[in-house]
Amino acid sequence: MSTVDAQRQPHLRLKISSASTLAMLALMPVPAEAQDDDEGALETRVTLGPRLAPSFPGSDRVRLRPYVNISRRRGDQRFPFRAPDENPSRAVYDRGGLSFGPVLGFVGKRSRDDVGGLDEVGFTVEAGVFTRYWISPRFRLSAQTRQGVSGHRALTGVIGADYVARDGDRWLWSLGPRLTVASRRYAKAYFGVTPREAAATGVAAYSPDGGLHAAGAVVGVQRQLSRRWGVFGYTKYDRLLGDAADSPVVDRFGSRDQWSGGLAVSYVFGRRRK
């Protein structure tokens, strides 16, 4: 194996963003003290663990990030379903199976060293809106759009569906497809090569368009081991499509196959009303 090939092998980058973690916690429901009232006592389930995700869009390297999920139930209600790849969000409307509200996304920094001297794309915070609708107790549709307010400063969107099977809170598994779309500005930021960059690096100039960016699926499993403790795991696969897949940046420094996944432990706080 040549030195260049060795450098292109997927490897682990340990980097946990405290800023993104705090933002996720800020958007998630705030736990309240358990209280006995007509609706029953409140319980809060906190799920924490590591997850691996591509260092940046199109990368063949992965980076360690935190997985955080906080959910609540009252009385005999079940903990609400949250898709494994769901971005931090807060519903401002949730009635009759329909919910919508603000959502945040985070995209890791792409340095010049990652792509042979091509331009850097800074760590990106994305802000947007989501909508979700349960068309049956086991089938949910979802969509979201996010605008980068730093880093790539471009528009992206995700359309998805989830099939959910569960036995109360004893166990739950979900499976669903995902389609990702992106603006031309997003495509140029991560997959384009300007004539200036081409002259400086030897990578062929390339000007991609936006549109359908990737297609994939995600599967997740939640298992309650005891009254308090549980485990969670998920894996996700995306395949780059169109101009993103044909980019010389992906050909030389990345991969069309984008894998991510994680394992976590959950703990339930509070008590049920007797």
Residues of the chain with pLDDT under 50: 1-26, 29-38, 274
Residue 237 makes CB contacts below 8 A (sequence gap 6+) with 216, 217, 218, 257, 258, 259
Cβ–Cβ < 8 Å for 174, 161: no
Give the per-residue pLDDT at 41.
Answer: 85
Domain boundaries, the chain: 3-270
Measured CA to CA in angstroms, residue 141 lies from 89, 98, 155, 177 at distances of 16, 10, 21, 10
Strands 139-148 vs 155-167: parallel, antiparallel or unpaired: antiparallel
Residue 105 makes CB contacts below 8 A (sequence gap 6+) with 87, 124, 125, 126, 127, 128, 146, 156
- Secondary structure element (H or E) that encloses residue 69, with its range: strand 62-74
Phi and psi angles of residue 34, each rounded to the nearest 5 degrees, phi first: -65, 140
Give the per-residue pLDDT at 22.
Answer: 46
What CATH number labels 3-270?
Answer: 2.40.230
Residue 54 makes CB contacts below 8 A (sequence gap 6+) with 60, 61, 62, 63, 108, 258, 259, 260
Looking at residue 39, its amino acid is E
Give the per-residue pLDDT at 272.
Answer: 63
Tens-place pLDDT, residues 6-60: 444 444 444 434 444 444 444 554 433 333 444 568 999 999 999 999 999 999 9
pTM value? 0.84
Cβ–Cβ < 8 Å for 127, 102: yes
- Output the CA torsion 160→62→105→265 (10° steps): 80
Rounded to an integer, what distance in angstroms lies between the CA atom of residue 186 and that of residue 61? 20
Smallest CA-to-CA distance from 29 within 41, 45, 18 is with: 45
Rounded to an integer, what distance in angstroms lies between the CA atom of residue 99 and that of residue 135? 12
Smallest CA-to-CA distance from 108 within 241, 240, 17 is with: 17
Rounded to an integer, what distance in angstroms lies between the CA atom of residue 144 and that of residue 56? 20
Tokens of 203: 């990578």
Give the per-residue pLDDT at 273.
Answer: 53
